Amino acid sequence: MSDSSADFSRFHCPTPLATHETIQLAHGGGGRLMRQLINEVFLPAFRREGDTEGLRQPPHDSAEIRLGDGTRMAFTTDAFVVSPLFFPGGDIGKLAVFGTVNDLAMSGAKPLWLSASFIIEEGLPMEILSQIVRSMREAADEASVRIIAGDTKVVDRNKGDGLYISTTGLGWIPEDVHISPAHIRPGDKVILSGDIGRHGIAIMSVREGLQFDNALPSDCAPLHRIVRAMVKHNARAVHCLRDLTRGGLATALNELAQDAHVGFVIDESRITVMPPVASACEMLGLDPLYVANEGRFVAIVSPEAADDLLEVMRGQGEAVGLQIIGEVRAQPAGVVELRTAYGSSRILDWLSGEQMPRIC
């Protein structure tokens, strides 16, 4: 019981922003304002001396705990406030289990145990709650984790929205696994694990009452098996992993670029957006690169191992959109450049404001 790295330490904000005096929806959106909130409110309160010094312990999806015998555990928490509670391909319960499982997986950890706390609005039909709880158990079984601790609170009508769930996960990090933005190197390849934008569009389609032709379900899925196959094949070559939740692919790459002090060049033609998702995005005025996913991630890997790792990932059943989409370069640090199919290029910036509230 000796050491731990804090995942609050991930937060730096490069440029000062106008300060809001009250919380805005965009403070929860995964973009620039959320980083500012964490940088200015949470980080100063929770960090300790040494937490954020240089690249020794850069930001990550979960905190690392080192036990007395050297065993390393990953520890992570997430609140789920998705609206509506049910959507094509999933529900808040499945999301709450897989979301936390995936944060553990992004550390290369084997997910083991989960806790779940429920904040229920008075008046929620018992049958809805039962259905969501059963869905959590199914998701836990699918991900081979156990939900072993829980709590229930009830709030008055109009002080909630049916149900909010917070899950916290604990997993075991194998000895040879060292996955962190600190290990990203210029020349590394960027692998994208599948087509993007499906979760966000699945939510928006229900929320806005839209009927899309050939609508696709959310990509909501556990990622630990594909990660396990990768690290089993070549743990040293897997430098960093990041799932593409709030803020989508563009936000994940910007976070990594900032935290690892590197740049990315991404080839737009190698990013897959399925036609129904692309047309929904067009209709809603959304950029699929910023739309949330719940079963997709990027892997930053050694260039010489990239093709092999791609084959290993294909062997796990993912196929559509699984591609090497770009690479890491030393300069300009913090910048994500997107090369378009037409030979031009543009900077993929942070999301400003809120694109889609309460997506997870």
Q: Which residues 95-124 are close enough to bind its own copies by CB under 8 A? A: 110, 112-113, 115-124
State the Rg of the chain over Cα: 19
The residue within the footprint of its own copies, chosen from 92, 95, 101, 147 (CB under 8 A), is 147
- Nearest distance in Å: CB 127, its own copies: 8
Which listed range, 26-34, 208-216, 269-277, 290-298, lies at the site for its own copies (CB under 8 A)?
26-34
* Beta bridge mates, 72: 66, 173
How far is it, in rounded angstroms, from Cα 60 to Cα 55? Answer: 12
For its own copies, give the closer residue by CB, 204 or 313.
204
For its own copies, give the closer residue by CB, 110 or 189.
110
Q: At a CB cut-off of 8 Å and minimum separation 6, what does 244 contact?
A: 196, 251, 252, 292, 293, 296, 297, 298
Which listed range, 148-156, 206-214, 297-305, 316-324, lies at the site for its own copies (CB under 8 A)?
148-156
Which listed range, 33-41, 229-237, 279-287, 296-304, lies at the site for its own copies (CB under 8 A)?
33-41
Phi, psi of 201 (to 5 degrees): -70, -35
53 burial via Cβ count (<10 Å: 0-12, 13-18, 19+): exposed
- Which residue matches tokens 């601790």? 149
- Contact between 17 and its own copies by CB under 8 A: the answer reads no
- Nearest distance in Å: CB 287, its own copies: 21
The residue within the footprint of its own copies, chosen from 170, 192, 226, 274 (CB under 8 A), is 170
How far is it, in rounded angstroms, from Cα 157 to Cα 164? Answer: 14
- Nearest distance in Å: CB 256, its own copies: 19
- Nearest distance in Å: CB 302, its own copies: 28
The packing angle between helices 306-314 and 224-234, to 10°, is 140
- Contact between 49 and its own copies by CB under 8 A: the answer reads no
- Report the candidate in 24, 48, 50, 55 with the shortest Cα–Cα distance to residue 37: 24
Which listed range, 155-163, 180-188, 250-258, 317-325, lies at the site for its own copies (CB under 8 A)?
155-163
Residues in binding contact with its own copies, number by CB under 8 A: 85
